[in-house]
Every structure is written in structure tokens, then in C-alpha cells.
Amino acid sequence: MIEVEHLTRRFRRGAETVTALDDVSLTLGPGELTVAAGPSGSGKTTLLSIIAGFERADAGRVRFAEPLPPDAPPESLTWRHLAFVPQGLALLDELTVAENVELPALLDPDAGPGRRTAELLDGLEIGHLADRYPSLTSGGEQQRTAIARALRLLPPVLLGDEPTGHQDRDRILLVVALLRAHAYAGNVVLISSHDEAVIDLADRVITLADGRVVSDDRPGARPAASAR
């Protein structure tokens, strides 16, 4: 569904040029939870941001296929096609938790019913916070609000930048279970993570180092993970 072709992204830092992504190519398909792993600064956020259309590549391109509008540029996609959980969450503090989750549906009335906000909030254990403003909730609760918002329209592509970074162990399992269920329903789910607990639960692990893909494994093929 997504072809990432020879992406390169460089940043200027004074006299220095940092190569955040260096000729990265990969294919992302539906039906598996894919985790982009790798040390801090390896290029995970840059990769997700370019796929999501928030960042532009210096070279290479991202191509989408059905059910996304074929060959649409990433920046033209809406929440109903592609949802992103950014590290900064980007919640609107003048809206309540429930209203933030509802926002993609309000912005796109033709998007269809999607998944109910109340069901998402309950599933992510923030139903009791529905009417509270995000700034009056914890970092983990805010992150789960952003995850609920991303799932609201059941998008065929869901990207998350460290979407479990603020969660405790039980909530990591909760979030990963929800993201895997979304993937198994036939959608592309790509998240970044440093967390071994998350990486262990992934169906596919793409490891970056210095802006390059250094391994691309499906650990389910390994005996230790086959009991999942």
C-alpha cells in the first residue's frame, strides 16, 4: 500500500550537514504491526514525518496505492486516509478530550461512521476524562487521547511516533493491542519505538542507524515469538 523509494533527507546545522535519512527504501503493507526501531537520532521521526507529509524529502518519494488515492502526495491525505500520532501529540487545549477525538470526524463529515469516540475512550481507559481539557490530564492520558483521535476514522494508514512513550507497562500492552488490532483489520500501522516491550510485540521490526535501514525482520518467524 505504501512504497518508500530512496528517501534522503539532510538538515543544515550551521556549517554541518546532517543526513537524517540516507537512501531509505521499503514497502509497507496492511495486516502487521511494524515498528521502526533504532537509537536516538537514527532517523525514525524523519521517516514517519515524510510518509505523513509533514516533512519533505530532498530525494526519493513516497507512493500510495489503493485504498489510498493512488499516487497522491502525502501532504494531500486527510485523517480518513492517514492518521499520525506525533511525539508532540498536537492536541487542542481549547477542546475537551472527547472533542479532540471527535475532531477528525467534524473536519471530514463525508468520512463515514468510523469508530465511536466513547468506545475508543473506554478502550483506552480515558472514558472518565471525556469532558476534561487535555492540559488537566496526565501525559500518558494525553497520549492515549491522541491515539484515540488517530483511530477515530479507522484510517488505512496509522503512523505513531513513540506512541507508547508516556505509558506504564499495562498501558503499553493496551495501546499495542489496539494498534495491532487495527493492523490486523487490514490497515498499515507503522510506529517508532525504543521500547523493547513494544519491539517484542511487533510483527515486523525495521531498524535504522544513521539514517539507513540496517535490518528488516519479521520476528514472528523466530521460535521465541511464535507463541503470540
Ligand X SMILES: Nc1ncnc2c1ncn2[C@@H]1O[C@H](COP(=O)(O)OP(=O)(O)OP(=O)(O)O)[C@@H](O)[C@H]1O
How far from chain centre, in Å, is Cα 63? Answer: 17
Contact status: 225 vs ligand X (CB under 6 A): no
Contact 56, 50 (CB under 8 A): yes
Contact status: 222 vs ligand X (CB under 6 A): no
Containing 37, the helix (H) or strand (E) segment is strand 32-37
Nearest by Cα to 25 from 70, 59, 73: 59
Cell 491525505 identifies what position? Answer: 77
Contact status: 199 vs ligand X (CB under 6 A): no
Contact 144, 176 (CB under 8 A): no
Contact region with ligand X (CB under 6 A), list: 33-41, 96-104, 140-148, 182-190: 33-41
Q: How far is the CB of 11 from ligand X (least distance, A)?
A: 3
Contact status: 11 vs ligand X (CB under 6 A): yes
- How far apart (Å, rounded) are the C-alpha atoms in residues 220 and 152? 29
Given candidates 1, 2, 4, 20, which one binds ligand X under the rule CB under 6 A?
Answer: 20
Given candidates 23, 30, 41, 171, which one binds ligand X under the rule CB under 6 A?
Answer: 41
Contact status: 159 vs ligand X (CB under 6 A): no
Q: How far is the CB of 219 from ligand X (least distance, A)?
A: 20
Contact region with ligand X (CB under 6 A), list: 37-45, 97-105, 134-142, 144-152: 37-45
Contact status: 107 vs ligand X (CB under 6 A): no
Q: How far is the CB of 177 from ligand X (least distance, A)?
A: 23
- How far apart (Å, rounded) are the C-alpha atoms in residues 176 and 35? 11
Contact status: 60 vs ligand X (CB under 6 A): no
Given candidates 46, 137, 143, 207, which one binds ligand X under the rule CB under 6 A?
Answer: 46
- How far apart (Å, rounded) are the C-alpha atoms in residues 205 and 115? 28
Given candidates 45, 117, 142, 164, which one binds ligand X under the rule CB under 6 A?
Answer: 45
SS3 of 159-226: EEECCCCCCCHHHHHHHHHHHHHHHHCCCEEEEECCCHHHHHHCCEEEEEECCEEEEEECHHHCHHHC
Q: How far is the CB of 137 from ligand X (least distance, A)?
A: 23
Contact status: 43 vs ligand X (CB under 6 A): yes
Q: In this structure, what C-alpha cell is assigned to residue 152?
A: 477515530
Q: How far is the CB of 44 from ligand X (least distance, A)?
A: 4
Positions touching ligand X (CB under 6 A) are: 11, 13, 18, 20, 38, 40-46
